[in-house]
Amino acid sequence: MTAPARRISLTGIKPTGIPHLGNYVGAIRPAIELARDYDAFYFIADYHALTTIRDPGELDLYTRSVAATWVACGLDPERVTLYRQSDVPETFELQWVLSCMTAKGMMNRAHAYKAARDRNREAGLDEDDGVSMGLYNYPVLMAADIIVMGADVVPVGRDQIQHVEYARDIAERFNQAYGDRFALPVPEHVTSSDGDRNTLPGLDGRKMSKSYDNAIPLFGDARSTRKLVRRITTDSTPVEDPKDPDSSTLFALYAPFADAAEQEELRARMRAGGMGWGTLKDLVADRLEEHLSGPRARYDELMEDRAQLDAILAAGGARARERASALVGSVRAAVGIA
Q: Count residues contacting ligand TRP (CB under 6 A)?
A: 13
Q: Which of residues 128-147 bind ligand TRP (CB under 6 A)?
A: 142, 145-146
In this structure, what are the phi and psi dihedrals at residue 171, rounded to the nearest 5 degrees? -60, -40
C-beta of 24 vs 277, nearer to ligand TRP: 24
14, 64, 287, 296: which one binds ligand TRP (CB under 6 A): 14
Of 152, 90, 97, nearest in space to 320 by CA: 90
In this structure, what are the phi and psi dihedrals at residue 6, rounded to the nearest 5 degrees? -75, 150
**Coil/strand/helix, residue 207:** strand
- Non-local CB neighbours of 283 within 8 Å, separated by 6+ positions: 254, 266
* Least gap, CB of 157 to ligand TRP (angstroms): 7
Q: Does 324 bind ligand TRP (CB under 6 A)?
A: no
Q: How far is Cα 150 from Cα 328, in angstroms, rounded to an integer?
A: 10
In contact, 9 and 43? CB cutoff 8 Å: no
First-residue to last-residue Cα distance in the chain:
35
Q: Which of residues 23-52 bind ligand TRP (CB under 6 A)?
A: 45, 48
Using the contact rule CB under 6 A, the part of the chain among 11-19, 76-84, 218-226, 227-235 near ligand TRP is: 11-19
C-beta of 187 vs 245, nearer to ligand TRP: 187
* Least gap, CB of 335 to ligand TRP (angstroms): 23
Q: Which of residues 83-102 bind ligand TRP (CB under 6 A)?
A: none
* Least gap, CB of 254 to ligand TRP (angstroms): 26
Q: How far is Cα 93 from Cα 112, in angstroms, rounded to an integer?
A: 24
Q: How far is Cα 188 from Cα 19, in angstroms, rounded to an integer?
A: 25
* Least gap, CB of 47 to ligand TRP (angstroms): 9
In contact, 292 and 218? CB cutoff 8 Å: yes
* Least gap, CB of 16 to ligand TRP (angstroms): 8
Q: Does 284 bind ligand TRP (CB under 6 A)?
A: no
Site string for ligand TRP, 47-76 (x = CB under 6 A): -x----------------------------
C-beta of 14 vs 287, nearer to ligand TRP: 14
* Least gap, CB of 191 to ligand TRP (angstroms): 12
Q: Does 12 bind ligand TRP (CB under 6 A)?
A: yes
* Least gap, CB of 36 to ligand TRP (angstroms): 19
Site string for ligand TRP, 156-185 (x = CB under 6 A): x---x--x----------------------
Of 110, 106, 113, 171, nearest in space to 145 by CA: 171
C-beta of 90 vs 145, nearer to ligand TRP: 145
Of 113, 130, 36, 126, nearest in space to 74 by CA: 36
21, 53, 154, 184: which one binds ligand TRP (CB under 6 A): 154
Taking CB atoms, the residue at the shortest distance from ligand TRP is: 12
Per residue, the 3-state secondary structure of 156-186, as one string, reads CCHHHHHHHHHHHHHHHHHHHHHCCCCCCCC
Per residue, the 3-state secondary structure of 78-139, as one string, reads CCCEEEEHHHCCHHHHHHHHHHCCCCHHHHHCCHHHHHHHHHHHHCCCCCCCCCCHHHHHHH
The site for ligand TRP (CB under 6 A) is made up of: 10-12, 14, 45, 48, 142, 145-146, 154, 156, 160, 163
